[in-house]
Chain A
Amino acid sequence: MEDNQSPSTVGRQSSTKEKAIVCKNLTKQFGDFKAVNNISFDVDQGEIFGFLGANGAGKTTAMRILCGLSYPTSGEAMVAGFDVYRQQEKIKKNIGYMSQKFSLYDNLTVLENIEFYGGIYGVQGAEIKTRSNDLVSTLGLEKEAKKLVGELPLGWKQKLAFSVAIFHRPKIVFLDEPTGGVDPVTRRQFWDMIYEAAANGITVFVTTHYMDEAEYCNRISVMVDGCVNAMDTPANLKKQFNAHSMDEVFYELARSAKRTGD
């Protein structure tokens, strides 16, 4: 799939080859309202990139564009080497997605959920079998494999949802507030899984409201009123804002926001 570049993007390829996501002057406008205002950033392959911002800052809109769910008004963006205007279908094949809402089916068993998602991503039947067996044993869910997902505790559901999101081995996985409502221990375990995925070369693009989680990211960007107002490693950001914690950095930045959360 990587060599399926359309002619117009070939020229850019050399500069973007090792980049998982490239955004340049990306803007999304609804009427007079610029939900995303001229943002630019790059994400390296295998990087864990934190995408922060208060509610209403435009995170979700930006993420939708990158996931191929919506077209930008202007600007450029490449995801996994594919253009967000013309190659949405190819982008979709190469990304995984997990939303803040719990995304598995409660009245399907663990295995059936895995089979379903594997199925719609076009993973072959035999491959689904071996991979799901591996997955179930890594998660320690052997006993629960044939139980309905609805009967599992929330923490396990979230971990399972993440595993399902990367089941088809995407290049990039988008996580939209993945740890909402989960206890700290499970959150920690969840992040262990994220690190493992990143170690396997999967780029992780994550939004979160938990500032301790922001510290786990390689790099973070903070969106305020549709613009990216800061972007660096957590350590550098703290230095730059002369703050002790990411909390303070975030507060410093978000305080200037004019938009109210939705």
Chain B
Amino acid sequence: MKQLLAFVRKEFYHVFRDRKTLLILFGMPVVQIILFGFALNSEVKNIGITILDNAHDVQSEQIIAKINSSPYFKVRQPALNYKDIEHRFKEGGIKCALLFPVNFGSALYKTGGAQVQIIADASDPNTATTLTNYLTAIIGNYQQELNPAAKPAYQIIPEVRMLYNEEQNGSLNFIPGVIALIFMIVSTALTSVAVVREKELGTMEILLVSPFRPIMVLIAKAVPYLVLSLINFIIILLLSVYLLDVQIKGSIILIFAESILFIITCLSLGLLISNITTSQQTAMLVSMMGMMLPTMLLTGFMFPLENMPKVFQIISYILPSKYYYSIIKSVMLKGLGFSYVWKETLVLAGMAAGLLTLALKNFKIRLS
């Protein structure tokens, strides 16, 4: 036990004296939270629009005023002609354009129907669809104001409720994903590098010649990163609650317990990677490519899994982070209890046990 303590203390010295490790450890969570919370926002807001108003009548002006007051659009300098619109799209200052024909107002009143043209930059199809929907809604809204008396005889009004996230706080969805990502980096990547570093330096030999048990070497390596991951977790939770207004709805104890389980899974993965690699770079690369990228892409926190080809969906089932992500989402955001996540927990626990056994068994006690 004392031997272990001496070893763990040494590991902490390593971490706190290495600026790069410290930066990854504590700089990254903060940067990620801020990046995902503020910069990488998928919400559509303040999008540049240009308007070619050939009509210049009351009706067109009224519609433009409505667009102007909407938070989704920022009306840029009006376009001079059709060619100008194309030019502006190419420049990139605008994402959509609205065209009023010359006789817009008079057509509306005389023939009872008028046309406008909406042009959207569909190189980003999701945004383009959202924008045209918003514009159509604004125009439809104006249309209703024009004839308040003429209500259709039968009308269905959908009442939409955004469950679990009424204010549509965009941070909610990615917080569990970012947590999983950070655990992957801290627990998997840093642990594997920490073990491989000893191999590279040649100190591993000395450790193996000592009476210190080889398995204890792995435990001593894992303990500091378990502690650091938990500290990181607390930082992320605090940032999410106070900076991004995320409400933690479920049991905080359950969240912690599940997180410890996931950290252990990640640590085992890290140890396993350290067994099969001999240089720090390879270890880092394997952790990043093999673990982090799939976590980002295939857990469903950035892109919906349901839309992916079957192959990727199957691959996603072997990713521990997928289960953790789904557990944390259920507990933290929906406030569900253990009875709703026991299946995922069981899978995760199985993975942790399997990976840990594999890592410990494969650890080369005798250097080849």
Contact = CB atoms under 8 A, between A and B. Distances in A.
B210 A92 contact: yes
Nearest to B16: A107
Nearest to A30: B368
What 9 pairs across the A-B complex have the smallest Cβ distances? A119-B6, A101-B202, A97-B209, A120-B212, A92-B211, A107-B17, A93-B211, A103-B206, A116-B10
Given A64-B366, A101-B205, A108 B13 contact: yes
A105 interface: yes
Interface string A82-95: 00000001001101
Contacts of A102: 201-202
Nearest to A119: B6
30 contacts: A64-B366, A64-B367, A67-B209, A69-B205, A69-B208, A70-B366, A70-B367, A92-B209, A93-B211, A95-B209, A97-B206, A99-B206, A101-B202, A103-B201, A103-B203, A103-B205, A105-B14, A105-B201, A107-B18, A108-B13, A108-B14, A112-B10, A116-B6, A116-B10, A117-B206, A119-B7, A120-B3, A120-B6, A121-B210, A121-B211
A122 B3 contact: yes
A97 B208 CA distance: 10
A108 B10 CA distance: 8
A123 to B, nearest CB: 10
Nearest to B203: A103
Interface in B203-239: 203, 205-212
B2 interface: yes
Contacts of B13: 107-108, 112
Nearest to B13: A108
Contact of B5 (A89, A103, A119): A119
A47 interface: no
Interface string B344-368: 0000000000000000000000110
Contacts of A118: 6
Nearest to B3: A120
A99 B205 contact: yes
Interface residues of B, number: 24
A120 B216 CA distance: 10
Nearest to B208: A69
Contacts of A121: 210-212
Contacts of A225: none
Contacts of A100: 202
B200 to A, nearest CB: 9
Contacts of B367: 64, 69-70
A68 B209 contact: yes
Given A69-B367, A107-B14, 12 more contacts: A68-B209, A70-B366, A97-B210, A98-B206, A108-B10, A116-B7, A119-B7, A120-B207, A120-B211, A121-B211, A122-B3, A125-B2
Contacts of B209: 67-69, 92, 95, 97, 174
Contacts of A64: 366-367
Interface in B175-223: 201-203, 205-212
A118 B3 CA distance: 9
Given A70-B366, A119-B5, A120-B7, A101 B201 contact: yes
Contacts of B2: 119, 122, 125
B219 to A, nearest CB: 13
Contact of A105 (B203, B210, B366): B203
A108 B13 CA distance: 7
A195 to B, nearest CB: 23
Nearest to B6: A119
B202 A120 contact: no
Contacts of B366: 64, 69-71
Nearest to B212: A120
B183 to A, nearest CB: 25
Interface string A63-75: 0100111110000
A85 B203 CA distance: 24
B10 A105 contact: yes
Contact of B202 (A67, A71, A99, A116): A99
B354 to A, nearest CB: 28
Nearest to B216: A120
A99 B13 CA distance: 23
A115 B13 CA distance: 13
B202 A103 contact: yes
Nearest to A174: B209
Contacts of A89: 211
Contacts of B203: 103-105
Contacts of B211: 89, 92-93, 120-122
Contacts of B207: 120
A148 B16 CA distance: 13
Nearest to A97: B209
A117 B207 CA distance: 9
A20 B69 CA distance: 91
B202, B206, B367: most-surrounded residue (chain A CB, <10 A): B206
A98 B5 CA distance: 23
